[in-house]
Amino acid sequence: MERKVTLITGCSSGLGRRLCILLAEKGYLVVATARDISKIEEVPANIKLEMDVTDEKSIKNAMETVIRQYGRIDILINNAGYSVRSAIEEIDLKEMSKMFEVNVYGVIRMIQAVAPYMRKQNSGKIINIGSISGKLTSYVNGSYCASKHAIEAISDAARMELQSFGIQVSVIEPGAINTEFFNTLSINSDEKMKNSKSPYIGLYQKDLNYRKKQKRADARKAAEDIYKRLKKKKLKARYKIAVPPIFNLMIILPDVVREKMMLK
């Protein structure tokens, strides 16, 4: 197998880190990136780069390093992302803007960075890690869901625009995965959600209680499921990973029924 040059964003923890480990085991030429390079020192990768998806200069420098080393980029996995929870009325727009810079604009910046190289090759795969939240909006999570809804639209548009150049674009829609994502979520959100004076304290408490008992998929298994899709010659537009059957049902239910189920 020709060793595929694969750049992954957000490799310091969670799914990104697991994908680095797995793809390195499978013989891919892995380019691991993170804002803090010290956090990926132990990640098995051919190249480890400090890169911030909100910083165009750092993206440009990273891409130049990859092209100088290998002369091509075969696969981009847009994995970097995080969540801030709040009711829409109470969301801090500055916090929401920062999240969109990573979750949405970061994905666009990376596509813009790799597309010219992939177009010259007349080949390439772009895998955007979205979320089932991009299809199924929940209360006190509207801003994060909005960012993942955006990834659905961005992926669809980019797929139609790039396919004539031999570039495939697919979006992965994971359910809850047992990673540091939820620890970061708690750090970003729980203090506000425990404010007893908030008119939304009832919904906040529901969400906090649900997260304590929420079943989450194994990160290694999720990475393996993504790998199985990644190695296919022809990618589908989207793949659901680690999504409970009830969520698949809820997506197709009438709005009023779905919302009642979500609130329960």
Tell me the catalytic residues: 144
Bridge partner list, 196: none
Using alpha carbons, select from 103, 181, 200 the residue that is nearest to residue 146. 103
- Three-state SS for 172? strand
Alpha-carbon distances of 264 from 217, 252, 259, 261, rounded to whole Å? 22, 18, 9, 5
68: tokens are 């100088």
Whether 167 and 126 have beta carbons less than 8 Å apart is answered as yes
DSSP secondary structure of 47-72: EEEE--TT-HHHHHHHHHHHHHHHS-
Residue whose entry in the numeric block shows the structure tokens 């994502």: 181
